[in-house]
Structure 1
Amino acid sequence: MQSLITAIQEHADVSCYLAWPGDFELDRGDHGEEVHLASGAALEGFAGDGAGGRYFFCGDGGEERPVLYADSEGGAALVAIGLPELLRLLLVAPWWRDCRAFTAEESAELAAEYLEGMPDLPVRQGRAAAALGIDRPTETDVLARLREVATEAGKDFILIYTPQDESYDR
């Protein structure tokens, strides 16, 4: 079975969608700061966004590992359990970073903004999902899962800025 990272690299339309509106690029995995998990578990940067945020795999294993997102402002949270879950989030609600309350109403407002500037968004989402072989749950389900992962499972994934031994904000 082909890895999802390889599939992203091999499908230009998927990479293009993930770069925008997903704001997720595999060639931006270097965080630039020395960080570690408070638990001592392994941490591997594998992607980033245009604003300096980074995605990290946590622990040992492959694409099924938990995914932590650290922004450039000192905030970090677990956002998915595995790359497939992260990609579902990016394919359904690429505006997730702006969903502070995780509500359907908030997401609907953000979706409307994205659709205004990108009327072909649903088509692009569908093509990318099909190319990756990933199902797309509802926005409500994706945001509920994000909230669950960030607040429950994520409490054990504390990112530390190593030089000052300070934790990122959750």
Structure 2
Amino acid sequence: MHSLITAIVEHDEAARFLAWPGDFDLDRGDHVENVHLASGEALEGFAGDGAGGTYFFCGDGGEERPVLYADSEGGAALVAIGLPELLRLLLVAPWWRDCRAFTEEESCELAAEYREDMPDLTARRDRAAEALGLALPSEAAVLARLHQVATGTGKDFILVFTAEDEPYDPLIKG
């Protein structure tokens, strides 16, 4: 099976879209501090963002593993079950970190701001999705799924700052 990480590396346009506006870079997988999951499950940083946040695969396996995002300010949330779900979120709603209410109205307002700076956003997004072989859901669907994963399944994925044995704060509240 061809991995999505390999597909991102091989498709320049998809990698560029994920880098911006997705703020997702496969070269930034090292987190700024030593962390672990409270459950003791494996944690593998595989990508990051420009502000020092890190995306981690949780547990053992491949790209189907749950994905936890930790920012550089001590907040974390489970954001997807598997890399395909994460990439759909980043492609459809790259502004997800700024969503607090998880409503379609809020997402539309944020999308409008992005489209002011990037009028070809939708065309670039669609080409990236096609290159990665991903069908895209609606903004409302990806944001509802993000909220569901973070506040449901995510309760079992507590990131801990190892040096102080202190849990990160939830980025997304139920």
Specify the TM-score bucket, using the shorter chain as the normaliser: over 0.9
Q: Deviations over 1:23-48 (max 9, x none)?
A: 00000000031100000000000000
- Structure 2 counterparts to residues 10-159 of structure 1, below 5 A: 10-159=10-159
Q: Is the 8 A contact 2:76 2:169 kept in 1?
A: yes
SS at match of 1:13: helix
Distance in 1, Cα, partners of 2:57 & 2:114: 28
Distance in 1, Cα, partners of 2:53 & 2:163: 19
Q: Determine what percentage of the aligned residue pairs are the same residue.
A: 78
TM-score after normalising by structure 1: 0.99
Deviation at 1:101, TM superposition (A): 1.1
Distance in 1, Cα, partners of 2:104 & 2:133: 25
Distance in 2, Cα, partners of 1:142 & 1:11: 23
SS at match of 1:28: coil
Paired amino acid for 2:48: G
RMSD of Structure 2 on Structure 1 (CA): 0.5
TM-score after normalising by structure 2: 0.97
Paired amino acid for 1:166: E
Aligned length: 170
1:163 matched to 2:168? The reply is no
Q: Deviations over 1:81-121 (max 9, x none)?
A: 00000000011000000001111111000000000110000
Q: Is the 8 A contact 2:32 2:52 kept in 1?
A: no
Distance in 1, Cα, partners of 2:9 & 2:88: 17
- Structure 1 residue ranges (4+ consecutive) displaced by more than 3 angstroms after TM superposition: none
Distance in 1, Cα, partners of 2:101 & 2:77: 14
Paired amino acid for 1:158: I
Q: Deviations over 1:69-89 (max 9, x none)?
A: 000110000000000000000
SS at match of 1:27: coil
Deviation at 1:20, TM superposition (A): 0.2
Q: Is the 8 A contact 2:8 2:132 kept in 1?
A: yes
Task: List alignment gaps of at least 5 residues for structure 1.
Answer: none
Q: Is the 8 A contact 2:32 2:72 kept in 1?
A: no
